[in-house]
Structure 1
Amino acid sequence: MRTHSGPHDPAGPDGRAVCVIPARGGSKGLPGKNLAKVGGVPLIVRTVRAARAAQTVGAVLVSTDDRAIAEAARAAGARVVDRPDELSGDTASSESAVLHAIATLPAPPEATVLLQCTSPFLDPADLDAAITRVLDGTADTVFAALACHEFQWAEGPDGLAGVGHSAAFRPRRQDRAAHYRETGAFYVMRTTGLLEHGHRFFGRIAAQPVPRAHAVEIDSVEDLAVARALAPLSGITEPLDVDAVVTDFDGVHTDDRAGVGQDGGETVTVSREDGMGVSLLRKAGVPLLILSTETNPVVAARAAKLRVPVLHGIADKAAALDRWLRDEGLDPARVAYVGNDVNDLGCLALVGWPVAVPDAHPDVIAAARLVLTRPGGAGAVREICDLVVAQRTNRASHTKTSQSED
């Protein structure tokens, strides 16, 4: 897995490449597509974050005619370019939006990148590789592509005919040259050529191969469902940089099972290593809250053992979480919530980091920005704590290094 980070100034081209993300509000095939969530994050936000994480990118511009998309893009760190009506219709090309956006810059960048929100698994490393090939003169246009070896056929005057192969001869996969399918994720163009030709393909054209897992493109409800199912397996990771962690109890601190004694009393099983994780989180200065609908005294007992606050016997968890966030003065975007079942969906929607345990309900998995590898009651709490502490330590180390260099 590769983790990327690299904040950039969205106000201007402080690098040699500028990304433009066309994201109009209208979509007949999948209404609201650009704000649809994959891995708990709207597509427009996923795309902006990936672009900003690329080391070769200066500015990230979002061209849109939609207020909600504009607000989400700004919050993610992009600069918004108001897209005029004549460039917002069904027949308007992506190139027209890109050319309009770069015309708002003080000067054209060396490379212009067209990014599309419909490719949710954009790896900043692949984007950097493609941009570098344009900047170093290797190519004039580089596009994200999936290398394929499938036999293809096309209709001809006498019926189907093989494309790139003879119907009478079927060479082995290893004996056939690959062909490439555009994934639609990105197109990197030398800006002088884009301005001259007015479209994305010109000069020397090259493909930037991407993994099959990252080649998903969303054009339909079915595509969206597939992307949501694949999100936990995409291999695209982000640093878990949060100011607080909130967890459900049953299914997160426990394995969601209970033992019942002859007197009717219930017992649950927890992981001792979760206690160490919570202790390390507390030492890092990150508060943790347990929030549960469960009324069993075992919830309060476990919270007391961990020395963390608890709200349990709560009917409306989302309302309780919202009050706690406001009382604590926390930015919801910088809070993680870990859940496992449908009664956690309201809380997951409130925070910037919705997190699921691996055996969570499918709707919770679909809503999660991060799916843990360890189940509830078997180290899930330790895992989330370790991820948060590791990011805190990494950030502190970078800050110390930067200060020493100054």
Structure 2
Amino acid sequence: MALDPDTLSQFLEALDRFVKDRLIPNEARVADDDAIPPALVQEIREMGLFGMAIPEEYGGLGLSMAEEVKAAFILGQTSPVFRSLVGTNNGIGSQGIIIDGTAEQKARYLPALASGEMIASFALTEPDAGSDAGSLRTTARRDGDDYILNGTKRYITNAPRADVFTVFARTNAEVKGSAGVSAFIVEAGTPGLTLGATDRKMGQKGSHTCDVIFENVRVPATNIIGGAARENQGFKTAMKVLDRGRLHISAVCTGAAERLIRDALAFAMERKQFGEPIAEKQLVQAMLADSKAEAFAARCMIEETARRKDAGQNVSTEAACCKMYASEMVGRVADRAVQIHGGAGYMADYAVERFYRDVRLFRIYEGTTQIQQLVIARNMIRDAA
């Protein structure tokens, strides 16, 4: 359900102020400490950011896709770490429950996710299953009214602080690929569920990932998303939430690009070489202009695709186009921003150095660029046939 225009405008204006006044000033501190201060997490909760995409009836804001990308454009203007904290609650950690969950599952989890009382985590990737998610080896063996889960998940965002996991496990060993996989809701603290050491990453300090290990973890059959009747339907649930997630990440990439462009332009107007600001140099202007045009193109793609999704159209191809283009685009923009800063851009004193490392992840998670290319091409071939 979309907000009325005045309420949406007020929310976006408040979010913009919050990003500028509270999040951007804390970026360096969060990166240095590798942690978001608890008081700031509480402010993020009070802003309603954990529940932007969760229906109002469960305590969320109930933003439409077009409204959510507007918020993501703004949230992308600051460190991706803040978006990562709330992203799973709004996306893959909640949308499966919203779309396919039972009434009991919705009532149990959605209000807590919307308020930020619970932090969600999405446990799909494994040591030998990433882009080829259908080859996952985590098993779920039926034992009476329960399932026994065994396996290891890797690089799981928010896992060190998560309260609830969406876990994909193979419930039918006789079926290869994704057809024999189910999606389980598993709460932290369940006996047999342990966490590995926190990963040391290239960037996005303050956003934590780690292995999630399942050793004879007993989970009720009712904890399959949608209930026991949806055994072996886990990937169908996952596919339903992909388009929204891809559009959200695309908008965050675009917001980050716009921040980088703004920082690079400000530096170029102040930095002088050969007696004038480097912004007057045509080769610097070319980098600024290319970045502006590419970010604008991404914004237009995302806004149009979000409108189509809200209208009920199938946007699988278009959402993959947005994710592929926007994530690659922000990498190019970050590279140019560092170049415009010159030696200063290689120094940690400037935000572009951190963003250069942070945005590299966008081309990898939630579907690599190469996976997006396959999705786009296969959809093209299918449609043409």
Q: Same fold (TM over 0.5)?
A: no
- Structure number with higher strand proportion: 1
TM-score for the superposition, normalised by structure 2: 0.32
